[in-house]
Amino acid sequence: MNMLYPQFEVIRNPNRCIKCRACEKQCANEVHGYDENLKIMTCDESKCVNCHRCVAICPTRALKIVKTDHTFKENANWTEKAITEIYRQAETGGVLLSSMGNPEQHPIYWDKILINASQVTNPPIDPLREPMETKTFLGKKPGKIERDEKGNLIDNLPPHIELNMPVMFSAMSYGSISYNAHAALAKAARELGICYNTGEGGLHKDFYEYGANTIVQVASGRFGVHTDYLNAGAAIEIKMGQGAKPGIGGHLPAIKVGADISKTRMIPEKTDAISPAPHHDIYSIEDLRQLVYSLKEATNYKKPVMVKIAAVHNVSAIASGVARSGADIICIDGYRGGTGAAPTRIRDSVGIPIELALAAVDQRLRDEGIRDKVSIVVGGSIRNSSDLMKAILLGADACYIATAALLALGCHLCRTCQTGKCNWGIATQREDLVKRLNPEIGAKRLVNLVTAWNHELEEMMGGMGINSIEALRGNRLMLRGIGLTQKELDILGIKHAGE
């Protein structure tokens, strides 16, 4: 007996299907089959994850995937999801595991914030006619101008990351995503003049050439971390936390640690790669400072050090500590941020929205007079250029995108990355599947996406009559809330529409 009824139905239009069996070959979940005797296509929809690979590949558009209309008796409290999760756990005794970002119906503040534009006075700028500056520098701003005895300026600028636009691809490890996905991200980052991030899986030898556009991550497992690695990138990011699973470590199962990943992570093949929940050399801000400065020492103070934290309840106090730890850049990851695998309960109910976290952190650092000591980078579901613009107006220096980047590579958000059978060649290490993602085409799509966003940014900037992104950072007067309570407006530091 199986109490779990398949979530999806695979509908094949028999008038269109030419039995080419392409769907059968393309579905790594082995949903489609062919009955040699009856000469018909068969399917086992219980294995379908709704990733649309077969739908996209079918030459006659004979396929569609629909949500089953098989239902439980309607119940607003005990929803189908709540019930089936109980069945699953009663069956297996296991921890519910999921991937990608929090899909629950929590408020999305970006959608309740509106951007201003100029009218009549202070006229808009036409971005086609006038140059718009979206170049962004991340790092500490020197507190004062210094001169030598002769009165010449002393270059006291701490190391910076230079970005052509205020976007970076956030951390995804080689292991959680494929070689080709990394290749696409690295190539796109170079072409765009931005950065991608190695995640905690080390840096593959083939990608050292993209160093100037690479952020190398140091996480609790210290996988692949050695002196060449630390010096290879444009900056070093210490990962303290991740929005999808604050307070939780990582586990790349032994089965995914093949030869190539073993070399990159610098661990033996077919062993578990476990990242402990905390860095066990960091139990305090003082300890964090010691790690930050060890990395600066290891790279002769030439690389900015970033510290990534998850947006949790007291994020502003934590960020204040991080700013004092010597970090050059703070990265905050909101609770809608993606993941290759996380316990469902943690992903869906731990952490806070990035919009509120960002507003609170920016305000706190300003109040304490240390905002210029650090740049702020936020991620955790930036879905489009207006989310990006709103983040900058709330106080971010730049944004991290990951889910959006994977979507550009073909991800269909089926949220089963943890199985390692991604039909789009992204969250998988299976050679036949990885091959499906062409790094050149992938890079082109990423370049298209980010370039389009940059154009949109310029249009919005022009609309506001401001020609430099720097001048917009933290300019909350350009924002208004809609349908928000006074408390929410207070935290966001914005007025309500009409005010």
Partner 1 sequence: MEFTANTTYYQQLQNQIRNCDDKEIIIKELYGQRYIGCATSDKNFKLYGTAGNGLGQYNNGSTIEVFGNCQEAVGDTMNSGEIIIHGNCGDACGYGMRGGKIFIQGDVGYRAGIHMKAYMDKFPVLIVGGKAGSFLGEYLAGGLIAILGNGAQGKMPCSYFCGTGMHGGKIILRCDEKPEGLPEQVLVNEMNEEDRAELTPYIEDYCKYFGGNVKEILSNRFYVLTPNPNSGYNQLYTFE
Nearest to partner 1 of 92, 486 (CB atom): 92
Cα Rg, the chain, nearest whole Å: 24
Nearest to ligand SF4 of 422, 461 (CB atom): 422
Nearest to partner 1 of 93, 369 (CB atom): 93
CB count in 10 Å sphere of residue 400: 28
Nearest to ligand SF4 of 242, 416 (CB atom): 416
Give the DSSP H or E segment for 63.
strand 63-67
Closest distance between partner 1 and the C-beta of residue 348, in Å? 10
Give the DSSP H or E segment for 162.
strand 161-163
Contact between 413 and partner 1 per CB under 8 A: no
Nearest to partner 1 of 7, 118 (CB atom): 7
CB count in 10 Å sphere of residue 49: 21
Each residue 31-60 as x (binds ligand SF4 by CB under 6 A) or -, in order, gives: x---------x------xxxxxxx---xxx
Contact between 94 and partner 1 per CB under 8 A: yes
| Residue 125, contacted partner among ligand SF4, partner 1, none, CB below 5-8 A by kind | none
Closest distance between ligand SF4 and the C-beta of residue 467, in Å? 37
Contact between 437 and ligand SF4 per CB under 6 A: no
Answer for which of 108, 413, 491, 497 binds ligand SF4 (CB under 6 A) is 413
Contact between 18 and ligand SF4 per CB under 6 A: yes
Contact 72, 83 (CB under 8 A): yes
> Residue 40 corresponds to which tokens in the numbers above?
């018909």
Residue 341's contacts (CB-CB under 8 Å, 6 or more residues apart) are: 97, 98, 99, 176, 251, 417, 418
Per DSSP, the three-state class of 228 is: helix
Which one-letter amino acid corresponds to residue 194? Answer: I
Nearest to ligand SF4 of 200, 459 (CB atom): 200
Which one-letter amino acid corresponds to residue 259? Answer: A
What is the arrangement of strands in the sheet containing 479-481, beginning at the earlier edge strand? 113-115, 479-481, 495-496
Closest CA to 56 of 27, 19, 31: 27
Answer for which of 3, 86, 95, 477 binds partner 1 (CB under 8 A) is 95
Residues 317-346, interacting with ligand SF4 (CB under 6 A): none
- The footprint of ligand SF4 (CB under 6 A) covers 10, 12, 17-23, 26-27, 29, 31, 41, 48-54, 58-60, 62-63, 65, 99-100, 406, 411-417, 422-424, 426-427
